[in-house]
Structures are given as C-alpha cells and as structure tokens.
Amino acid sequence: MTSPARISFWSAVPTPLTAGLQVDEASVGRMVEAAVADGMEGLFVAGTCGEGPWLPDRERRRLVAAAVAASAGRLRIAVQVSDNSVPRILDNAAMAAEGGADYAIIAPPAVMLNATPDRIVALFAEAAQSSPLPVGIYDLGRHRPIAIPQERLKELYLLPQVKLVKDSSGSPERRAAALAAKTQRPELRLFNGDEFRCLEYLQAGYDSCLFGGAAAVAPQLRRIGALFAAGRMAEAAAEEAEMKRALFGIYGGEQIACWLTGLKYYMVQRGLFTTSASFLGYPLTDECRAFIERYAAAA
C-alpha cells in the first residue's frame, strides 16, 4: 500500500434545474457554499451526474459562470467538455475557459465512427494538446461503448497538458496504468470516480476521490480520509460501509433505481435545490423518498 501525500475530495455535482429545465443560478450559489462548508477542494460541473451532455450550450455556459462566480476562487472548477470531434471539444473548452473554469475534462465520445484505437487516442491527444485549459481525462472503461484502449492509457496520461485523471472504470488493469503513469509524473492527480470503492483506491495510491454522491456524504468522506491517513484501516472500512449504506439509500438500492433523482431530492431536502427536475427522468420511489427525508433530517 502506498499512502498519498495528501487526500482531497471533489464533488461531481448535479445541476440544479428549474421546472422548465433551465439552470437555477440561485441554487448553484447555495450548492457552491455547501461544498465549501463540506470541505470540498473542487467541483466537477456538467459531468454525467451534472447532465452536461444533455444541457443546451447556453445553459452549460450559465452553469459554469454561476459556479465560478459563487466559488470566488475558493474551489477549483472543472467542466466536462467531451464531444464527438476535436473541434467540438475545443469549442466546449474555450467556453469553459471564458467562463473562468480551471480544468477541461474529456470523457469518451458518445458517438464515434471508425473508432480504431489510433483514432480514439488521437481524439484525446489532439484535444489535450490544443486545449486552452489544463486537461483531465475521464476514464469510464467498459461502462461506455467507446473506451481508450487499456494499453494506450499511460501514453495519454504522460502528456504534459493532462493534469488529472478521473477513473470511474472500476478496472484494476486500468488503475495500474494510471499508477504507472504517476510513477513517471508524480504531479499527475489520480481521482477515484467510484463512490463504492473509495478506500480501495486510496490504498492503491490514488490521491483523491471525485464522484457524484460526494455532495451527500461529505462528512463520511472526511472521516475516511482522516482515518486512512492515521493508518486506522479497520475504522476507515467501517466508516466506508456506513457511507455506502447512505448512498444506496439515496440512489434507491443496489439497483440504483433512483439515481440522480434521489440525489437531487436530497439536495432539495437540504435546502439547496428548489426542484429535483432532470433531463433523465429517473423515478423517486416511496422507499427512496422516505430514506432521503430521514437521512437529511438526521444530518
């Protein structure tokens, strides 16, 4: 086990929307203040949990501007800029830079024809090399139809423009590639993106955690980090087990039936969002609703 020099926690935040599916700027401000109070170091906006691929460009621009303004330099702001071609990725990165963001995060494209390994790698490499912002690579592995070939990950992670990795792949082999790159580039930040495997990735040598449920379990995350840093692994594992139970309750069980809707309803119960509206329309079961109300009241 290799302990990171420091552990930080970022939140891949949901996007607060009005009933008409427009960005609720006042709620963005409350969300940012809560993240600062929760001890987050940064926010990842317009990601998967942030519904970035579904937001109209004008709303994504409003979201970035509102998050940056509310943060006022207290948090690092990363924006997903993923798209289906290098020019489109660079347009999105330019918008993020104009809005004052700190990082551009590139995930695999939703659509890519003739997706040979060389073309997939070239998409990431060319976009990273021309990005107006420092770049993060969002690795979803086999969770998406298009993935960076495992044997080419290290090549991309060694690019000087790539400053961080959000690893949501769940793959030990892909994790090993990231750690091998970090051996050569110690400044590369490795973020675990799987909220159900936080401690495992910290033990492997990742620096930090960055995932959607962080907005709901920040106290548990801080305790896990402190216990891990102190070498109190049994207590850290017990704390993580409690965190997982909370996340499954919010998400609607191990089937994740209420994903995103449950998290947004939690944000409503916390007084941060005004609606749980989303583009994706996941349900909110009675069981999930009742758990969230109990959990938010206790917190």
Radius of gyration over every alpha carbon of the chain, rounded to an integer in angstroms:
18
Residue with token string 């790159």: 181
Helix/strand/coil for 136: strand
Residues in a beta bridge with 137: 106, 165
Beta 162-167 vs 189-192: how paired, if at all?
A: parallel
User: Cα–Cα distance between 249 and 33 in angstroms, integer?
Assistant: 25
pTM above threshold 0.75: yes
Cβ atoms 49, 212 nearer than 8 A: yes
User: Are 9 and 41 spatial neighbours (Cβ–Cβ below 8 Å)?
Assistant: yes
Maximum distance among all alpha carbons in the chain? 52
- Contact at 8 Å (CB) between 259 and 252? yes
Residue 245 placed within a domain: no
Is 262 inside any structural domain?
no
How many whole angstroms separate alpha carbon 147 and alpha carbon 108?
6
Q: How many domains does the chain have?
A: 1
- pLDDT tens-digit profile, the chain (299 residues): 455 556 899 999 999 999 999 999 999 999 999 999 999 999 999 999 999 999 999 999 999 999 999 999 999 999 999 999 999 999 999 999 999 999 999 999 989 999 999 999 999 999 999 999 999 999 999 999 999 999 999 999 999 999 999 999 999 999 999 999 999 999 999 999 999 999 999 999 999 999 999 999 999 999 999 999 999 999 999 999 999 999 999 999 999 999 999 999 999 999 999 999 999 999 999 999 999 999 999 98
Asked whether 17 and 263 are in contact (CB, 8 A), the reply is: no
Tokens coding 182: 């970090």
φ, ψ (nearest 5 deg) of residue 189: -90, 130
For the chain, first and last CA: distance in Å?
A: 33
Domain of 61: which CATH number?
3.20.20.70
> Does residue 278 sit within a domain?
no
For the record, the structure tokens of 214 come out as 């962080």
Q: Are 237 and 244 in contact (CB under 8 A)?
A: no
How far is Cα 58 from Cα 56, in angstroms, rounded to an integer?
Answer: 5
Secondary structure in 3-state letters for 190-207: EEECCCCCHHHHHHHCCC
SS3 8: strand
Per-residue pLDDT of 48-92, as tens digits, reads 999 999 999 999 999 999 999 999 999 999 999 999 999 999 999
Q: For residue 120, give its domain range.
A: 8-232
Does a structural domain hold residue 265?
no
Residue 239: inside a domain, yes or no? no
- Could you tell me if residue 73 is inside a domain? yes
What does the alpha-carbon distance between residue 75 and residue 63 come to, in Å, rounded to a whole number?
Answer: 15
Asked if residue 81 is part of any domain, the answer here is yes
Beta strands (DSSP E) in the chain are 8-12, 42-45, 76-80, 103-106, 135-139, 162-167, 189-192, 208-211
Cα dihedral 22, 52, 189, 238 sign? positive
Q: 56 lies in a domain?
A: yes
